[in-house]
Chains A and B, each alone.
Chain A
Amino acid sequence: MSARVLLLFLTLSVVLTVAVTMISAVAAIALPLLNESLLTSWSVVSGQGSEAVMVAEASQSSSVELTEGVLTVSTTTITFGFIRAMNILLVGGVVTAIIWSLRQVVSDIQSGRPFNSSSIRYLRRTGYLLALLPAWLFMEVFIRFYMFSPSAVSKADFYMTHIKFLTEDGAQYFIYPDFDMGYLVAGMFVLVIAQAFKVGHDLQLDSDEII
């Protein structure tokens, strides 16, 4: 794939990502305003002695349902809509920044002088964002659980790797957030490429100053 085609593909990806992010964020705020439920779910693992049966808990504006290994919270509260929209904007913004940075690097490569300070800066930014993204997605599961689940603080125990919670019938359940090592490795790989570009940049400067 030539740099030109890749540049076009990345430009379209940026536009698409921004559009999807904005639409999703607006929908997250608009749904509670239109009295539509906002759903959020987690994969749960049942503890010893408990069975994966439906457990329901309901309050005025939200309801909790546990069925077939999935805990689902349905809510119509506008605050949760705003929180959800902020998370969508944050993740969407990070993804957009990653694609935009890669686009700038490809643009520099296409210009014929890829070893410049802006390429190094964009590659470093991409690397750090790729490495931080799985960390945020990991933490987001905990944050979302404690913000969205009614009476989560009293019924759930927080551990660094998981959450343990009890249902009204006394059954134990666990939520294990995924940590995507793929993003972390990709981020580190991009940071190494940035280091290689730094060496290339130094050599380019040397070459430019030798007549």
Chain B
Amino acid sequence: MTIIVNLDVMMARRKIKMKDLASAMDISATNLSLLKNGHVRGIRFATLEALCRILECQPGDLLEYKDDSE
């Protein structure tokens, strides 16, 4: 996958636990774990907005594009 989810990096920077973030976002820890590990097909704007609000960051801080050929 060429879109890298840097959620774990932002969580470490903000020193927030998975359980607390999931609770603040009102989603299950399982779904958040899937998102963190890049095992999802997509992310809703509403979810991205909630992540940016709670982690006080920009979408670009959470998502990164990497060319497969590199």
Is residue A168 contacting chain B, with contact meaning CB distance below 8 A? no
Choose among A206, A209, A210, A211 the residue with the greatest number of B CB atoms under 10 Å from its CB. A211
Interface residues of A in 178-211 (CB under 8 A from B): 206, 209-211
A-side interface size class: under 10
Which residues of the partner chain A approach B31 to less than 8 Å between Cβ atoms?
211
A209 to B43, alpha carbons, bound, how many Å? 9
B58 within 8 A of A: no
Q: Mark B34-67, 1 if CB is under 8 A from A, else 0.
A: 1100001111100100000000000000000000
Q: How many A-B residue pairs have CB under 8 A?
A: 20
Size of interface on B: residues with Cβ below 8 Å to A: 11
Contacts of B40 in A (CB 8 A): 209-211
Task: Kindly list chain B residues whose C-beta atoms are within 8 Å of the C-beta of A206.
Answer: 41-42
Q: Among the listed B27, B32, B42, B47, which residue makes an inter-chain contact with A209, where contact means beta carbons less than 8 Å apart? A: B42
Chain A stretch 127-185: residues in CB contact (< 8 A) with chain B: none
CA distance A211 to B46 in the complex (A): 9
Least Cβ–Cβ distance between B39 and chain A, in angstroms: 8
Distance in Å: Cβ of B24 to nearest Cβ of chain A:
15
Query: How would residues 60 to 97 of chain A score, 1 for a CB under 8 Å from any chain B CB and 0 otherwise?
Result: 00000000000000000000000000000000000000
- A210→B27 CA distance, assembly (Å): 12
Report chain B residues within 8 Å CB of A209.
40-42
Q: Note all chain A residues with C-beta closer than 8 A to B47.
A: 211
What distance in Å separates the Cβ of B51 from its nearest Cβ neighbour in chain A? 10
Measured in the bound complex, the distance between the Cα atoms of B28 and A211 in whole Å is 10
Residue of A with least CB distance to B46: A211
How many Å lie between the Cα of A211 and that of B42 in the bound state? 6
- Cβ contacts under 8 Å, B27 to chain A: 211
What's the least CB distance linking B56 to chain A, in Å?
20
State the CA gap A209–B41 with chains docked (Å). 5
- The interface residues of chain B lying within 8 Å CB-to-CB of A211 are 27, 31-32, 34-35, 40, 42-44, 47
B residues in contact with A210, CB < 8 Å: 40-44
Chain B residue with the shortest CB-CB distance to A206: B41
Interface residues of A (CB under 8 A from B): 206, 209-211
A-contacting residues of B (Cβ < 8 Å)?
A: 27, 31-32, 34-35, 40-44, 47
Could you jot down 9 A-B contacts, CB within 8 Å? A206-B42, A209-B40, A209-B41, A210-B43, A210-B44, A211-B27, A211-B34, A211-B42, A211-B47
15 additional A-B residue pairs with CB within 8 Å, beyond A211-B35, A211-B40: A206-B41, A206-B42, A209-B40, A209-B41, A209-B42, A210-B40, A210-B41, A210-B43, A211-B27, A211-B32, A211-B34, A211-B42, A211-B43, A211-B44, A211-B47
